[in-house]
């Protein structure tokens, strides 16, 4: 029988007394105790040198640890973690390297330091997770836009508007808004456009004010963006993974800014957002871009916000129609639904290579395909992001 955990020392003592008796067959005794001869002779040697007191388990810690992290380095790790409670081993290691410290421990060692100091949250904290990222190749190719879930203030509620550059993860806007109305979002977007320039495209969900679940393909906000030559595409309904970077940004915002805090009003919330946004963009190592801060990969757009928007102009061969009340146009004796967001604006029907099929366009953007042969209007507004069109990271 092997040594039992419940009485390990007493069993070792019994074994040793039997093995130390005159004429004892130690190897046979080891076989009966179901232990190896090496283990048996080890305990017998200790027993002969110091009696039963030597049968206690000894610490396996080495007498010296020449590569053990110094107390000063541990203090640096703990200081970074306490300044940024949501940062893990990889981010903290990168920050220490940027500070110019030598012999910075590995990310796994830093995780162990955090664990020793009870600074890890949750049973799986520090574990590696396998996933694959996709991103657009250049800054401003795509911006992701969304509202994070609103939360209560001491006076009113805050609706955080977030805009993120897909390539660099740079936070272009983190706004403490009083509501989610078109005018509020348009004013915020205009300020962002004037500072950073225009993106080539914006990705948003299907919610208001940039989307509609009621069947409308466009809103007043998306029409204004088309006037600026910034198309808006949408992910599938009930599929937040399309805006995975925004979803991850929201979790980070919650962990590093909102958790356990309350704000008196929108001004106080905005001040906290502004302070953290600088850290997020310029200091915080981002694991999705090689532990560099987003500002290291972002560059402003070369497309400036215009001072005025010219009305649309169409080529002579295009069939131009004014969108009437309720969003309808008439074409070749047919009544075609466009969108109420375009009421009072001119749209164009452009012939395609297929006979009887036309593109319904606003400026250079195709809104839908009109098939006069079968009275089919096929929307092309919702173009989901697909990993096959993006660059793997």
CATH number of 71-116: 1.10.10
CA–CA dist 238, 76 (Å, integer): 43
pLDDT score recorded for residue 4: 46
At 171, give phi and psi (nearest 5°).
-85, 110
Four-point Cα dihedral 309, 310, 314, 319, nearest 10 = 80
Domain boundaries, the chain: 5-55, 71-116, 134-296, 319-379
> Could you give the C-alpha distances from 179 to 67, 145, 147, 148, 235, in angstroms and in order?
55, 15, 10, 12, 23
Residue 232: exposed, middle, or buried by beta-carbon count in 10 A (0-12, 13-18, 19+)? buried
CATH 3.40.640.10 is right for the domain spanning 134-296: no
CA dihedral over 46, 49, 53, 54, signed as positive or negative: negative
Maximum CA extent, the chain: 117
The per-residue DSSP string of 27-39 comes to HHHHHHHT--HHH
pLDDT score recorded for residue 49: 87
> Reduced to 3 states, what is the DSSP secondary structure of residue 96?
helix
Average pLDDT over residues 34-46: 89
**pLDDT tens per residue across span 202-257:** 998 888 888 765 556 789 999 999 999 999 988 654 444 557 788 889 999 999 99
Average pLDDT over residues 8-31: 84
Helices assigned H by DSSP within the chain: 8-20, 26-33, 37-50, 71-83, 89-98, 107-116, 182-196, 220-227, 244-253, 266-282
Q: Is the pLDDT of residue 154 over 90?
A: yes
Q: Is the pLDDT of residue 352 over 80?
A: yes
Q: Is the pLDDT of residue 375 over 70?
A: no
Helix H or strand E encompassing 106: none
Strand-pair partners of 235: none
The strand pair at 171-177 and 232-234 is best described as unpaired
The whole-model pTM stands at 0.66
Average pLDDT over residues 103-120: 76
């Amino acid at each position: 029988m092997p040594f039992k955990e419940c009485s390990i020392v007493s069993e070792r003592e019994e074994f040793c007394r039997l093995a130390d008796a005159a004429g004892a067959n130690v190897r046979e005794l080891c076989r009966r105790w179901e232990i190896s001869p090496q283990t048996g002779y080890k305990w017998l040697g200790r027993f002969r040198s110091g009696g039963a007191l030597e049968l206690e388990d000894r610490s396996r810690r080495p007498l010296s640890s020449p590569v053990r992290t110094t107390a000063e380095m541990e203090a640096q790790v703990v200081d970074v973690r306490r300044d940024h409670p949501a940062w893990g081993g990889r981010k903290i290691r990168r920050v220490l390297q940027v500070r110019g410290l030598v012999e910075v421990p590995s990310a796994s060692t830093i995780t162990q330091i955090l664990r020793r100091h009870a600074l890890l949250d949750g049973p799986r904290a520090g574990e590696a997770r396998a996933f694959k990222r996709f991103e657009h190749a250049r800054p401003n190719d795509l911006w992701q836009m969304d509202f994070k879930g609103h939360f209560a203030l001491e006076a009113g509620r805050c609706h955080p508007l977030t805009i993120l550059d897909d390539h660099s993860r740079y936070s272009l806007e983190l706004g403490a808004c009083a509501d989610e109305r078109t005018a509020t979002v348009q004013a915020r977007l205009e300020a962002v456009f004037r500072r950073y320039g225009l993106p080539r495209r914006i990705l948003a969900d299907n919610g208001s004010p940039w989307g509609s679940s009621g069947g409308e393909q466009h809103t007043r906000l998306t029409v204004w963006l088309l006037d600026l030559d910034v198309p808006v595409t949408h992910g599938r309904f009930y599929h937040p993974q399309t805006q995975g970077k925004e979803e991850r940004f929201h979790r980070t915002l919650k962990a590093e800014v909102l958790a356990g805090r309350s704000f008196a009003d929108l001004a106080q919330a905005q001040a906290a957002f502004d302070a953290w946004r600088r850290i997020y963009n310029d200091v915080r190592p981002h694991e999705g871009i090689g532990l560099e801060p987003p500002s290291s990969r972002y560059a402003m757009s070369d497309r400036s916000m215009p001072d005025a928007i010219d009305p649309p102009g169409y080529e002579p061969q295009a069939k131009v129609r004014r969108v009437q009340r309720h969003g309808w146009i008439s074409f070749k004796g047919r009544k075609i639904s466009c969108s109420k967001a375009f009421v009072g604006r001119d749209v164009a029907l452009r012939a395609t290579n297929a006979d009887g099929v036309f593109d319904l366009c606003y400026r250079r953007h195709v809104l839908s395909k009109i098939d006069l042969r079968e009275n089919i209007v096929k929307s092309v507004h919702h173009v989901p992001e697909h990993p096959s069109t993006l660059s793997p990271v």
